[in-house]
Chains A and B, each alone.
Chain A
Amino acid sequence: MFNVEDIRKDFPILSRKVNGKPLVYFDNAATSQTPQQVIDVIVDYYSNYNANIHRGVHSLSQEATDKYEQARHTIQKHFNAKFAHEIIFTSGTTHSINLVANGFSSILKKDDEIIVSALEHHSNIVPWQMLCERTRAVLKVIPMNQEGELSMNDYDQLLSKKTKLVFVNHVSNALGTINPIEYIIEKAHQVGAAVLIDGAQSCPHIKPDVQDLDVDFYVASAHKMCGPTGVGMLYGKESWLKKLPPYQGGGEMIAEVTFEKTTYADLPHKFEAGTPNICGGIAFGAAINYMNAIGFDNISSYEHELLEYATKKLLEIEGLKIYGISKHKTSVISFNLEGIHPYDVGTILDKMGIAVRTGHHCAQPIMNYFKIPGTVRASFSFYNTLEEIDALANAVKKAKLMLS
């Protein structure tokens, strides 16, 4: 049984106060909070078996290696990857994307085309721009409409034999739109292009099946799904990961080194140079176990309830406009009050203990499209409550009163 009051007890931070008011944490799309179960794993690691992995013959090192590799299996199972070595530990989504972009710099040729979407986070635009500069490939953009949805008609037009790569986020961080990635992947494969899906914003809400999707690369960050910061993953089909060159040189990623030649280690170690974030990787596994114990069906149906309630409550406020009104959305509401800067609203909300994100959400092209400097973004998680949404609505009303 899904009981939000019980779940909240798992998150120590939710009982603290901010500016003298009980914390209402609605910045989940930036980072999620960490349950005690995951905190315990982190403490246990440093208290009991902190050691470097994959090298030591001593017991601690073996224990740490086992736990780290167990976490890789947990992630593999969660995303339904065919092999554990298709899961590469990274420092997060941005690192994962850069790893793939770097790999493609030796594959792409002049006039090849890369397609990205108008809904992308900067971290999913800049690496491709840099890649295009290096390879003289061409960047194409799938436009979006007023609802904040990508135009699949335009996408169809953009695809051609020249298309080598398609990069789209599963869910838009700024608007919450769930993109039709099944269609995007299928169409890209028809012209022989590879597809990378950025799952940073989807994985906290949706459990993707990479084999079912037939996606070539899928990336995610632990800290958005109840895990720690500084760790994430790259899923890549085995055939692709074998094809891509290593990203960084260093320990862990080699098979044999002489000054004449180095041969690289097998997957996944080929992409894991240096001592990784061992504790983070293990805690990432624990976070996935925690979320699965609650159940993604429970999570998404409860979050949908929060989204519908919040949408209704906020739209009751005169002069409030919501950006991104697709029927397919995760629990994110991006909004503005007419004539009021989002920064001002965010400042007043903070004074009332409510944490939201304001600004362009690292997605300036979207803000340019709507001709606004930014939005206030409230993003809900399964540990939020309807009462907190009432508090948000009241605080927004107060901000409007103070700022008009």
Chain B
Amino acid sequence: MSITDIQDEIIEEFSMFDDWEERYQYMIDLGKDLPLIDDQYKTDSNIIKGCQSKVWVHAELKDDKVCFTADSDAIITKGIIAILIRVFSNQKPRDIIEADTDFIEKIGLKEHLSPTRANGLVSMIKQLKMYAIAYQTQLK
């Protein structure tokens, strides 16, 4: 599935929720279901600098696609990671680089984009795209 298709799918899932509680409960559940990152990748160098919760991201190239695994010590952040991984993992570097992230606003998580949120959503997206850029260069 293309990144846009996955994003549309997520927007549709979130549109079924009536209020913030259901939305957050869903994210928390996604966070709980997030496949565990291999412990060897939970290193300081894989930490995305955010003020409040720790986020680790690991990337590797499989065939011509980038695969991401990630983790956090906060469950809501893990839920957000789960969404991002669903969107960006297993995609071609160029598609990741070119993807826009408007869907975050559309699923009612706009507040997490604010710099004060410090859960690293903005830096997470940036980091994923950085990996994609790095692999894109490698593929050339």
Chain A contacts for B25, CB-based, 8 A: 402
Of B48-56, B59-67, B123-131, the one touching chain A: B48-56
What would 13 more interface pairs be, CB under 8 Å, given A19-B20, A402-B28? A341-B53, A341-B77, A342-B52, A343-B76, A351-B20, A351-B21, A351-B24, A358-B52, A359-B51, A373-B73, A374-B52, A402-B21, A402-B24
Chain B residue, CB-CB nearest to A351: B20
Q: Does A348 have its Cβ within 8 Å of any Cβ on chain B?
A: yes
Q: How far is the CB of A31 from chain B (nearest CB, A)?
A: 13
List B11-34 residues whose CB lies under 8 Å from chain A: 20-21, 24-25, 28
Chain A contacts for B74, CB-based, 8 A: 341, 343-344
CA of A343 to CA of B76 in the docked complex: distance in angstroms? 8
CA of A62 to CA of B74 in the docked complex: distance in angstroms? 56
Chain A contacts for B53, CB-based, 8 A: 341, 343, 373
Chain A contacts for B51, CB-based, 8 A: 359
Chain B contacts for A344, CB-based, 8 A: 74-77
Q: Mark A4-42, 1 if CB is under 8 A from B, else 0.
A: 000000000000000100000000000000000000000
B28–A341 contact, CB under 8 A? Answer: no
CA of A403 to CA of B77 in the docked complex: distance in angstroms? 12
Chain A contacts for B76, CB-based, 8 A: 343-344, 347-348
B52–A403 contact, CB under 8 A? Answer: no
Q: How far is the CB of B9 from chain A (nearest CB, A)?
A: 24
Chain A contacts for B52, CB-based, 8 A: 342-343, 358-359, 374
How many interface residues does A have (CB within 8 Å)?
15
B24–A348 contact, CB under 8 A? Answer: yes
A341–B24 contact, CB under 8 A? Answer: no
CA of A347 to CA of B54 in the docked complex: distance in angstroms? 15
Q: Does B91 have its Cβ within 8 Å of any Cβ on chain A?
A: no
Q: Does B119 have its Cβ within 8 Å of any Cβ on chain A?
A: yes
Q: Mark A390-404, 1 if CB is under 8 A from B, else 0.
A: 000000000000110
Q: How far is the CB of B49 from chain A (nearest CB, A)?
A: 14
Q: How far is the CB of A350 from chain B (nearest CB, A)?
A: 8
With A359-B51, A373-B54 already in contact, the answer to whether A343 and B77 are too (CB < 8 A) is yes
CA of A402 to CA of B75 in the docked complex: distance in angstroms? 11
CA of A358 to CA of B117 in the docked complex: distance in angstroms? 11
Chain B residue, CB-CB nearest to A401: B25
CA of A315 to CA of B25 in the docked complex: distance in angstroms? 25
Q: How far is the CB of B113 from chain A (nearest CB, A)?
A: 14
Chain B contacts for A340, CB-based, 8 A: 75
Chain A residue, CB-CB nearest to B53: A343
List A357-404 residues whose CB lies under 8 Å from chain B: 358-359, 373-374, 402-403
Chain B contacts for A359, CB-based, 8 A: 51-52, 118
| A–B complex contacts, Cβ < 8 Å, 17 sampled | A19-B20, A341-B73, A341-B75, A341-B77, A343-B76, A344-B74, A344-B75, A347-B24, A347-B76, A348-B24, A348-B76, A359-B52, A373-B53, A373-B54, A402-B25, A402-B28, A403-B28
Chain A residue, CB-CB nearest to B119: A343
Chain B residue, CB-CB nearest to A373: B73
Most chain B CB neighbours (cut-off 10 Å) among A342, A374, A403: A403
- A-B pairs, top 10 by smallest CB distance, nearest first, are A341-B74, A343-B52, A343-B74, A343-B53, A344-B76, A359-B52, A351-B20, A344-B74, A344-B75, A347-B76
CA of A358 to CA of B28 in the docked complex: distance in angstroms? 18
Chain B contacts for A347, CB-based, 8 A: 24, 76
Chain A contacts for B118, CB-based, 8 A: 359
CA of A343 to CA of B21 in the docked complex: distance in angstroms? 16
Most chain B CB neighbours (cut-off 10 Å) among A340, A347, A351, A359: A347
Chain B contacts for A342, CB-based, 8 A: 52
Most chain A CB neighbours (cut-off 10 Å) among B25, B73, B75: B75
Q: How far is the CB of B32 from chain A (nearest CB, A)?
A: 10
List B93-117 residues whose CB lies under 8 Å from chain A: none
Chain A residue, CB-CB nearest to B52: A343
CA of A19 to CA of B25 in the docked complex: distance in angstroms? 17
Chain B residue, CB-CB nearest to A19: B20
Chain A contacts for B28, CB-based, 8 A: 402-403
Most chain B CB neighbours (cut-off 10 Å) among A341, A344, A373, A402: A344
CA of A402 to CA of B20 in the docked complex: distance in angstroms? 12
Chain A residue, CB-CB nearest to B25: A402
CA of A173 to CA of B93 in the docked complex: distance in angstroms? 46
